Structure 1
Amino acid sequence: MNGVTGRMGYRQHLVRSLLALREQGGLELGDGTVLWPEPILVGRSEQALRALAERHGLDRWSTRLDDVLADPSVDIYFDAQLTSARADALRRAIAAGKHVYCEKPTAADLDDALDVARLATAAGVKHGVVQDKLFLPGLRKLRRLLDGGFFGRVLSVRGEFGYWVFEGDWQAAQRPSWNYRTADGGGIVRDMFPHWEYVLRELFGPVRTVQAQVATHLPHRVNEHGRPYEATADDAAYGVFQLDGGIVAQINSSWAVRVDRPELVEFQVDGVEGSAVAGLRGCRVQHRSVTPRPVWNPDVPVAAPFREQWQEVPDNEVFDNGFKVQWELFLRHVVLDEPWRWDLLSGARGVQLAELGLRSSAEGRRLTVPELEL
């Protein structure tokens, strides 16, 4: 596990996924076999790795990736490093014959993303990319509505994502400073457009065109050491995506917005038969049969708040951590060869959409999104 000293690598992948699996007694494979994951922590800081290992009772850690990859007892390489370091490490793991699983974006550019996908396929190793949003309770409820035909014909999708990331002067920033430097692979487009690619594709259909406007609303920030720096990467992006079937998706992403909605991300889906608003955990619906008749009249107060006219979708199941759920599926894919579709090619599609989004903004025009092949 390379990059576990970072926020995502530590919280979601180590603690809430693999260590959580160990706490529940391992992963039962259904035939009486129990899979027991043995993490080896890898990173650049010996001090940080040792502290993590001691905190969680782990025996193995290293600052030498190649030594770990040479170990025949290692089956899977996982990467949650900086984006700029990911492709090279994935190539080394693939060359060592390891199955690979990684965070997104899978590489700093599309050429590298496709290259690692082709290398993994040619090597015959299993490969996967984290696509955690699909496993959020709110989006799983939305998937349930789609599968049940609730919407009829889907017309549009509107997404709002983001929150205020403090500049780092009078309050510490909630995100590391590299997120705001283009040279280090930062920027909200490179971070979030890969998410929007797989969410839109899986739920509604492939993205066929993209038109985006990006901005760096806060160009001056203060880093983790209290030193001012220039933010060269975009901190907000406003995108319009055309999908198969004429569906139009509009998604705003921003680290410079204050939140006035129940959750940090929400998607409103409007269809002929009904509408839904899905967030991280909740999902509300309004069917056509109970849709009120709003009338534009600014001189008369609203009789009933609009949000009170929606119905909450019940859980109907227990939702586990989305990262952990996908880890379980990938481990079963490696051990039992069960079906898996979130591979490095799907990761490359996310990198492609981010590149086209940035190019669309720079050129001020809508761009076609070609279908990728290995």
Structure 2
Amino acid sequence: MHGVTGRMGMNQHLIRSVLAIRDQGGLALKDGSVLVPDIQIVGRNADRVEALAKRHGVDRWTTDLDAALANPEDEIFFDAASTQLRPALLRKAIEAGKHVYCEKPISEGLDEAVEIARFARERGVKNGIVHDKLDLPGLVKLKRLRDSGFFGRILSVKGDFGYWVFEGDWMPAQRPSWNYRKDDGGGIISDMLCHWRYVLDNVVAPVKSVSCTGAVHIPERWDEADAPYKADADDAAYATFELEGGIIAQINSSWCTRVRRDDLVTFQVDGTHGSAVAGLHRCFSQHRVNTPKPVWNPDQPQQMNFYDDWEEVPDNMVLDNGFKVQWEQFLRHVVEDGPWSYSLAEGAKGVQLAEAGYQSWRERRWVDLPELEV
């Protein structure tokens, strides 16, 4: 596991996924055996890596990636480090015969993403990229509604993501400074449009084209050493997508907005027969027979409480941590060829959408997404 001293890699992948699988006694397989992950943490800073390993009872750690990849008993390489480093790391791991799993995006550019996906296929290694939001309880319920025909004909999607990330001067920032520097691979379009591609493709309908405008709303921020720096990467993106079937989706992504909604991200799907709004964990629906009939009257305060007319979609089943669910799926894919849909080729589609988003912003026009040949 490489790059797990960072916030995302440590919390979501190491602690809440792989260590959680280990600590629950392993993963039950079809043949009755149990798979227990044997973890080795790899990183550049020996003190940080050793401290992390000791804190969580991980016996093996190293700063020597080449030596780690040379060990034939370690079959999987996972990366959650910098996007700029990822293509070279994945190639090196694939050349060493490892199955690879990584955070998104695969790379900063589409050509490189397609090249790595093809290389993994040609070498015959199992491969995957994190599609964590698909296993969030809120989106699981939203997809369940779609699959049941609840919406009728889907008309549109409204998504709202983000929160206020402090500049770092009087209040420490809650995201790393590289996110806001273009040369370091920062930018909310490259970060979030990769997510919105697989969310829309899998929960609603495939994305066909995009119109996107980005912005650098906060041009100066303060880094981890309290030093000011030029924040030149986009910190907000306002995108409209055309989906298969003529569905229109609008998603705002911003690190410069204050939250007044049910969650840090919400998706509303409107259809001829019903609508639903999902956050990370909860989902509320309104069928056409339960839809109120408001009348526009700007001359008096609104008397209706529109929240009262929505019904919560129940869990109906235990929904585990989305990252952990996908780790379990990938481990089964590796050891018993279990079903797996989230290949590096699928990850390349996210890079394609991000690249198209930047092109749309730059050229101020709609950009179509051709079928990828991977």
TM-score range, shorter chain: over 0.9
Equivalence for 1:25: 25
Equivalence for 1:342: 342
Tell me if 1:371 matches 2:371: yes
Equivalence for 1:81: 81
Quick check: 2:104–2:347 contact (8 Å CA) kept in 1? yes
Mapped partners of 2:227, 2:31: distance in 1: 56
Mapped partners of 2:320, 2:248: distance in 1: 31
Post-superposition offset of 1:112: 1.1
CA deviations on 1:264-292 (whole Å, 9 max, x unpaired) are 00000000000000110010011000111
Query: RMSD of aligned C-alpha atoms?
Result: 0.7
CA deviations on 1:250-275 (whole Å, 9 max, x unpaired) are 00000000000010000000000000
Mapped partners of 2:12, 2:155: distance in 1: 34
Equivalence for 2:111: 111
Mapped partners of 2:203, 2:21: distance in 1: 28
Mapped partners of 2:30, 2:152: distance in 1: 37
Stretch moving more, 85-94 or 298-307: 298-307
Equivalence for 1:170: 170
Post-superposition offset of 1:88: 0.3
CA deviations on 1:16-35 (whole Å, 9 max, x unpaired) are 00100111100011321000
Equivalence for 1:288: 288
Equivalence for 1:297: 297
Mapped partners of 1:341, 1:53: distance in 2: 31
Aligned amino acid, residue 42 of structure 2: V
Equivalence for 1:40: 40
Post-superposition offset of 1:357: 0.1
Equivalence for 2:333: 333
Mapped partners of 2:31, 2:267: distance in 1: 39
- TM-score normalised by L of structure 2: 0.99
Equivalence for 1:195: 195
Between the aligned residues of both structures, percent identity stands at 61
Aligned amino acid, residue 164 of structure 1: W
Mapped partners of 2:308, 2:256: distance in 1: 29
Equivalence for 1:93: 93
CA deviations on 1:167-226 (whole Å, 9 max, x unpaired) are 001111010000001111110001100000000001122111100000010010000001
Mapped partners of 1:156, 1:76: distance in 2: 40
Equivalence for 2:264: 264
Alignment of 1:208-357 (within 5 A): 208-357=208-357
Aligned amino acid, residue 233 of structure 1: A
Mapped partners of 1:250, 1:57: distance in 2: 45
- TM-score normalised by L of structure 1: 0.99
CA deviations on 1:25-77 (whole Å, 9 max, x unpaired) are 00011321000101110111001000001101111111111110000111000
Post-superposition offset of 1:294: 1.1
Tell me if 1:133 matches 2:130: no
CA deviations on 1:82-116 (whole Å, 9 max, x unpaired) are 10000000000000000000000011111111111
Mapped partners of 2:142, 2:9: distance in 1: 27
Quick check: 2:167–2:173 contact (8 Å CA) kept in 1? yes
Aligned amino acid, residue 342 of structure 2: W
Aligned amino acid, residue 250 of structure 2: Q
Post-superposition offset of 1:299: 1.2
Aligned amino acid, residue 59 of structure 1: D
Mapped partners of 1:9, 1:69: distance in 2: 19
Mapped partners of 2:366, 2:180: distance in 1: 25
Mapped partners of 2:184, 2:110: distance in 1: 16
Aligned amino acid, residue 143 of structure 1: K
CA deviations on 1:287-325 (whole Å, 9 max, x unpaired) are 000111111101122222111111111111111100000
Mapped partners of 1:60, 1:109: distance in 2: 34
| 3-state SS of paired residue (1:237) | strand
Mapped partners of 1:108, 1:81: distance in 2: 13
Equivalence for 1:11: 11
- Structure 2 unaligned blocks of 5 or more: none
Mapped partners of 2:149, 2:205: distance in 1: 15
Quick check: 2:143–2:204 contact (8 Å CA) kept in 1? no
Mapped partners of 1:189, 1:364: distance in 2: 15
Mapped partners of 2:259, 2:42: distance in 1: 36
Equivalence for 1:151: 151
Aligned amino acid, residue 326 of structure 1: Q
- Structure 1 unaligned blocks of 5 or more: none
Mapped partners of 2:14, 2:168: distance in 1: 27
Aligned amino acid, residue 373 of structure 2: E
| 3-state SS of paired residue (2:85) | helix
Aligned amino acid, residue 286 of structure 1: Q
Aligned residues: 374
Mapped partners of 1:318, 1:69: distance in 2: 36
Mapped partners of 1:305, 1:9: distance in 2: 41
| 3-state SS of paired residue (2:295) | coil
| 3-state SS of paired residue (1:246) | coil
Mapped partners of 1:265, 1:82: distance in 2: 24
